[in-house]
Structures are given as C-alpha cells and as structure tokens.
C-alpha cells in the first residue's frame, strides 16, 4: 500500500508542477510527510492499524488531491465536495479513534461510548479543518471556502459522515 501511495504522490506532484499549481504541490508534499510520520509513529510505538482503515484515509486523500484538485471536481460540481466531506469525516473518524485507542490502550469500553467518541472526533476534526481552511484562505488571499453557506454545508456533511462512522463503530469491533 505504501508503494502505491508513494507512486501516486509522485505522479500527482509532477502533475501539479506541470499545471503550475504550486500550492497543491506543496499540499501533496505535506500530505506525504504526514503519512511518513504516521508510519514512523506506528513503528516506534509498536502498533498496527487495520489496512482497511488506512486505505479509507488514503482513498480520501486520493479523492481530494487527484479528483478534487487535479481534475478540478471541486470547481465542476458542488456535490463532489459534499460527498468527500461525508466520506472523509467517516474515514478519519474511524482512523483517528483506532490510532488513539492503540496508543492509549483503554480498558474495555462500551460500544455506545466508543460510538459517541468516534462521532465527537469526526465533528471536531471537521471543525478544525474548516478553521484551517479559513486561516489558509485569509493568509494566502484564496477563496476555497466560497462563503458562509459553503462552510455550513461542509460542517453539515462532516457531521453526517461522523455519525455514519459512529454507527459503523457500534457494529464493528475495533
């Protein structure tokens, strides 16, 4: 999986450079650095995350970088952005809970507690991403948020994805 993701990042980075989308090139590089940091952390702290959970996150990143940014689906349709917010918050909620539970190694928790925690993680991450997007828009004079309505819809779809992740976590053993 790492080899395929590395090849994808190289491919997409070359594409961003060819299209003169330098900020997206930097975004792809930062994404890859975070992926490498995760792999290092997994090795140093001696834990493993299920491959399907990592794959969900990698598919979210692929959807953002390749389909959303490289092929301009964020511009071509508003529905793609909303779909990716649902899928991304679902993926990252499950992934983050798995990482946290592997590091902390909590005692036996009830399924409802885990579900509520997963939902809370997803909603919090969605809010954090929107704040980060606002800061980047403000400092780089960009307009990725396209206004309050877009931000509100992003938050709503993040909540939907987070709730779906909570439901999923209730029925699937972590």
pTM, rounded to two decimals: 0.91
With bands split at pLDDT 50, 70 and 90, how would you rate the model's confidence at 7?
A: very high
**pLDDT tens, position by position, 125-137:** 999 999 998 898 8
**pLDDT tens, position by position, 77-86:** 989 999 999 9
Instruction: Give phi and psi for 67, each to the nearest 5.
Output: -75, -50
State mean pLDDT over 89-94: 98
Q: Hunting for tokens 């877009």 — which residue is that?
A: 150
| pLDDT surpassing 70 at residue 120 | yes
Cα gap 58→139, rounded to integer Å: 28
Angle between helices 148-171 and 78-104 in degrees, nearest 10? 50
State mean pLDDT over 94-98: 96
**pLDDT tens, position by position, 21-61:** 998 999 999 999 999 999 999 999 999 999 999 999 999 99
CB atoms within 10 A of CB 60: 20
Of the listed ranges 27-36, 58-67, 98-107, 163-172, the least confidently predicted one is: 98-107
| pLDDT surpassing 80 at residue 13 | yes
Distance of alpha carbon 89 from its chain centroid, rounded? Answer: 6
What does the block give as tokens for 73? 């689906």
């Amino acid at each position: 999986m790492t080899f395929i993701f590395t090849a994808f990042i190289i491919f997409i980075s070359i594409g961003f450079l060819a299209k003169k989308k330098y900020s997206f090139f930097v975004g792809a590089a930062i994404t890859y650095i975070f992926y490498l940091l995760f792999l290092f952390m997994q090795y140093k702290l001696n834990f493993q995350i299920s491959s399907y959970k990592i794959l969900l996150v990698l598919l979210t990143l692929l959807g953002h970088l390749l389909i959303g940014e490289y092929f301009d689906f964020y511009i071509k349709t508003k529905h793609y952005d909303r779909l990716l917010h649902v899928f991304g918050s679902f993926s990252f909620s499950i992934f983050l809970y798995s990482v946290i539970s592997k590091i902390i190694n909590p005692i036996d928790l009830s399924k409802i507690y885990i579900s509520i925690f997963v939902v809370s993680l997803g909603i919090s991450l969605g809010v954090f991403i929107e704040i980060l997007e606002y800061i980047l828009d403000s400092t780089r004079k960009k307009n990725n948020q396209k206004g309050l309505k877009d931000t509100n819809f992003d938050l709503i779809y993040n909540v939907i994805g987070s709730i779906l992740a909570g439901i999923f976590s209730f029925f699937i053993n972590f």
